[in-house]
Homo-oligomer: A and B are copies of this chain.
Amino acid sequence: MEKYGIFELRLKCESEPNVTFTCGDTAINVKGFRVGDGEYAVRFMPQTEGVWKYGGAADGEFTCAANTGGNHGPVIANGTHFRYADGTQYVPMGTTCYAWIHQTPELIAKTLETLASAPFNKIRMCVFPKHMPFNQNDPELYPFDKKTDGSWDVNRPNERFWVHLETNIGKLRDLGIEADLILFHPYDRWGFADFSTEDCLIYLDYCIRRLSAYRNIWWSLANEYDLIPQRKAEDWDAFGEKILSEDPYRHLTSIHHCLAIYPKRDWMTHCSIQSGFVKRMAEWQKEYNLPVMNDEYGYEGNIEYDWGNLSAFEFVHRAWTVITGGGFVTHGETYYREDEALWWAKGGELYGQSPERLAFLKALQYEIGDVEPYSNTFFGNPNEKPNENIEGADAQQQDFARLFVRVMRSLPEFELRSFMTGFSPSIVRNENYRLQYLGRQCPCRLDVKLPENGKYKVEVIDIWEMTRTVALTEVSGTLQVKLPGKEGVAILVTRTSGEAL
């Protein structure tokens, strides 16, 4: 038994058992769940090495060894970034297969095969089946049995469904993929969106008991919570608080919206944004002071819906914009197919040109480590006043900056915020690296300002061709860099020695 693995007890008893696990000063109470007639399971994920004792509905002990191999424990929020519980670096590069577990065994196997060689280390997926265009098929299994009146009985989980779900969550874990599990969504024809608040809480309680020992579980309260009219506003807080109080491991918890971003809450570990306004990442990061993931800024594809017909270049361009705004991205693909097996919903195969380019980007993110958004223009950081003190500006530039900012301050709020957002630069940095993405701007040359006291390397990155070209080495101060004058170029500065970037 290794750290972050699942320790499972099977018990014969009359009702749902409680077991308390203790190791040193740590005591964790875990609730079991029914798996068959008079049979219950209790699952526990130890996060401390050593001897764990347990008591309550069952007694015993086990030894928890160090984690090994690709097991780094659950992902946790770390400031505005993520990391694994054991301290290992984790940079999310997600994808979206909403209803992949609701497809045929053949298609599910194909999805797992595709994921095995794809760059994705997180997947957005639903517990409930999804009813949408290109998603008209009924699943083989449903999460609950029905009452005699035809409605779902949340007190009678369908064991086959949950085994199916958790088996696939386990397979994802073994591929190093986090399961960003969507608990509610609006695209329903079966009645799952119609649950009473009470039934929702019973269902959530079951999810927590059954699934929370999987280290790769993330809780996504909803896909597009604001498009589920059956839910009252206070329901979502009740659900978030339920997870906060019941999940022994405090798995990552978020809520995804369509139009109305959910306000900050204690139960929220990060932001799960849906927005084509990809320049706004730093703004939300500042407002929430949490990691911000743009889980849906449109998908690479060619279907008739605006959300599903971005070109591969536009998709990759948006990814770079999000990441150089200090955020994180999730992929999705919606190329039209006669058989309706579109990756975004059903999984299967990938046909697009973005995944290999996201792999390139992800490798770069891992190389440079955690970064924060940075600005040295008028537009400063979003959510702050326009910046009239421009780093390294001469007197004339500084005069102009003051004038410019004075005009900006006279603007109506919408105008000011539009400018602040639209023109905020796409730059992130830490001590050792500074990454600037030029987006669709095509300069053939650019001044790069480096500290005077140090030595730095400047590379020019082509985000589409996936090339890195060293432009300058062992330089400092303000320098002109030659650029290819095309869309999709980034500049990476690496500190060789001296002053931090």
Contact = CB atoms under 8 A, between A and B. Distances in A.
Contact of A444 (B226, B336, B403, B422): B336
Contact of A446 (B304, B407, B415): B304
A413 interface: yes
Contact of A443 (B303, B411, B444, B487): B303
A64 to B, nearest CB: 47
A70 to B, nearest CB: 37
Contacts of A259: 404, 407-408, 411, 415, 419
A222 B414 CA distance: 24
B441 A306 contact: yes
Interface in A215-240: 226-227, 229
A309 B414 CA distance: 26
A264 interface: no
A447 interface: yes
Interface in A66-86: none
A446 B305 CA distance: 9
A422 B311 contact: no
Interface residues of A, number: 45
B408 A227 contact: no
Nearest to A257: B407
- Report how many copies the assembly holds: 2
B487 A227 contact: no
Contact of A407 (B258, B304, B407): B258
Interface string A148-173: 00000000000000000000000000
A51 interface: no
A277 interface: yes
B260 A229 contact: no
B403 A227 contact: yes
A418 interface: yes
Contacts of A305: 443
A422 B314 contact: no
A314 B487 contact: yes
A442 interface: yes
A314 B485 CA distance: 13
A407 B277 contact: no
B314 A440 contact: yes
Interface in A322-345: 336
A302 B444 CA distance: 5
Interface string A248-268: 000000000011110000000
Given A259-B419, A403-B229, A311 B442 contact: yes
Nearest to A307: B441
A457 interface: no
A486 interface: yes
Contacts of A226: 407
A10 interface: no
Nearest to A418: B277
A458 interface: no
B443 A309 contact: yes
Interface in A410-461: 410-411, 413-415, 417-419, 422-423, 440-447
Given A302-B442, A413-B414, A311 B486 contact: yes
A463 interface: no
Contact of A302 (B414, B415, B443): B443
Nearest to A488: B311
A315 to B, nearest CB: 10
Contacts of A408: 259
Given A304-B446, A309-B443, 19 more contacts: A226-B407, A227-B403, A227-B404, A259-B408, A259-B411, A259-B419, A276-B422, A277-B422, A304-B444, A304-B447, A306-B441, A309-B441, A309-B444, A310-B441, A310-B442, A311-B440, A311-B486, A413-B413, A413-B414
